[in-house]
Structure 1
Amino acid sequence: MNGIVWLIIVCEIAFWIAIIAGLVTRYLWKKEKAGLVLLAMTPVIDLILLILAGFDLYRGAEATAAHGIAAIYIGSSIAFGKSMIAWADQRFQYYILKQQESKPQKRYGYEYAKYYAKGWLRHILAFVIGAGLLAATIFIIGDTERTEALTGIIRVWALALGIDTLATISYFLWPRKQKNVR
């Protein structure tokens, strides 16, 4: 594995450590501000990844799928970061602190379709950010042979976004039904 792959792995681990440490500090140690600071470190981790991946390319490295994944990671973290933290926060309160009022809600029908559509909108935002970073990198490097992998990442991600679009539409056409529990 090359250095950028390890960097992505380290940043992903650091992202979740920051979230878990923030939640533990906030709820178990009752240090609300310190917990918020730890949770706020997640965008800093993204910025570090962006700078180091850019520096790697600037030094002359050939763009690889790992560089493309770094852009996906950054776009997704920005678009989904707040909702991922809220998701983790709710589950921490329910499963660890045993707060019944924080029980994760199951959604069905049009409520689920609208909820899924919000995630789809975040996916569009992630794509715009990530593909924008990739397009800017391709433009700055100015060598299509060195950046071929990045162009491929944009195509695959666009296909994934198209599939997500179809899934989103399907939930409005065929709403998710609650399973019969006897």
Structure 2
Amino acid sequence: MIVTLIVICEVAFWVLLAAGLALRYLAKKPRLGAAVLLCEPLLEVLLLVVTAIDLKNGAAPDWKHGLAAVYIGFTVGLGHSTIKWVDARVAHRFAGGPPPVRPPKYGMARAAHEWRLAARWTAAAVTALALLQAAIWYVGGDGDTSSLEVWQQKMLLVIGINLLVAGGYTVFPKQAPKDAGDRERVDH
């Protein structure tokens, strides 16, 4: 049941996003579109409540409960930036908005971009870690929480990978290629 609800929440996320943006740009009703987009967090609240009820009713915590916590965490950490990303592209395509800003490719500007991404992913993983820990405490010492603890380890790995990537761009910043004139001289 939990996995089905996660799938429903994911589909509903994209349906609400499409509906909100269609109202905003195609129907020219920006306030109504914003109201629809603000309904997105209700999906996560619903998933959290159903997961808690499932555990309260005696369900053994397993990978599905961990997946629900991870889904909620990633929506908290990355949902807003995903909506902004899609919104910028829809505004450009359908409403004459400016072209979406591309992330920097080189130097410390790229490193700063990577740190912002790492912060979002870390927020997502920390939210998931907190929800997983709450579920572990909720179940107590009597239940087997090993599947939830495995998800916690995965979230720590997500944090570590993102910090390594951002750190790599900081320590070894990607350099811009030489200008076209220099390349032509090298080629000849």
Q: Give the TM-score taking structure 1 as reference length.
A: 0.89
Deviation at 1:153, TM superposition (A): 0.3
Which of 152, 168, 171 does residue 169 from structure 2 map onto? 171
Residues 131-170 of structure 1: matches in 2 within 5 Å? 131-143=129-141, 145-170=143-168
Residue pair 2:26, 2:94 contacting (<8 A) in 1 also = no
Deviation at 1:9, TM superposition (A): 0.7
The CA distance in 1 between the partners of 2:90 and 2:179, in whole Å, is 27
The CA distance in 1 between the partners of 2:101 and 2:136, in whole Å, is 42
Tell me, which stretches of 5 or more residues in structure 2 are unaligned?
Answer: 181-188
Which of 13, 34, 40 does residue 38 from structure 2 map onto? 40
Provide closer, same or farther for how the CA distance between residues 91 and 177 of structure 1 changes in structure 2, counting only shifts above 3 A. farther
State the AA in 1 paired with 2:11: I
Provide closer, same or farther for how the CA distance between residues 85 and 59 of structure 1 changes in structure 2, counting only shifts above 3 A. same
Point out the structure with max Rg over C-alpha: 2
The CA distance in 2 between the partners of 1:179 and 1:62, in whole Å, is 55
Across the aligned residues of Structure 1 and Structure 2, the Cα RMSD in angstroms comes to 1.9
Task: Say how many residue pairs are matched.
Answer: 179
Residue pair 1:91, 1:104 contacting (<8 A) in 2 also = no
The CA distance in 1 between the partners of 2:70 and 2:7, in whole Å, is 13
Which of 114, 119, 122 does residue 120 from structure 2 map onto? 122
Which of 22, 25, 29 does residue 24 from structure 1 map onto? 22
Alignment of 1:103 with 2:73, yes or no, is: no
Residue pair 1:22, 1:39 contacting (<8 A) in 2 also = yes
Counterpart position of 1:91: 89
Counterpart position of 1:64: 62
Q: Could you report, residue by residue, the CA deviation over 1:109-168 in whole angstroms, capped at 9, with x for unpaired residues?
A: 221211121121122222222111111110111146432100110011101211111111
Counterpart position of 1:12: 10
Give the match's secondary structure for 1:102: coil
Tell me, which stretches of 5 or more residues in structure 1 are unaligned?
Answer: none
Residue pair 2:118, 2:162 contacting (<8 A) in 1 also = yes
| Displaced runs of 4 or more, over 4 A | 177-182
Deviation at 1:14, TM superposition (A): 0.6
Question: How many percent identity over aligned positions?
Answer: 32
Residue pair 2:103, 2:113 contacting (<8 A) in 1 also = no
Counterpart position of 1:73: 71
Deviation at 1:94, TM superposition (A): 2.3
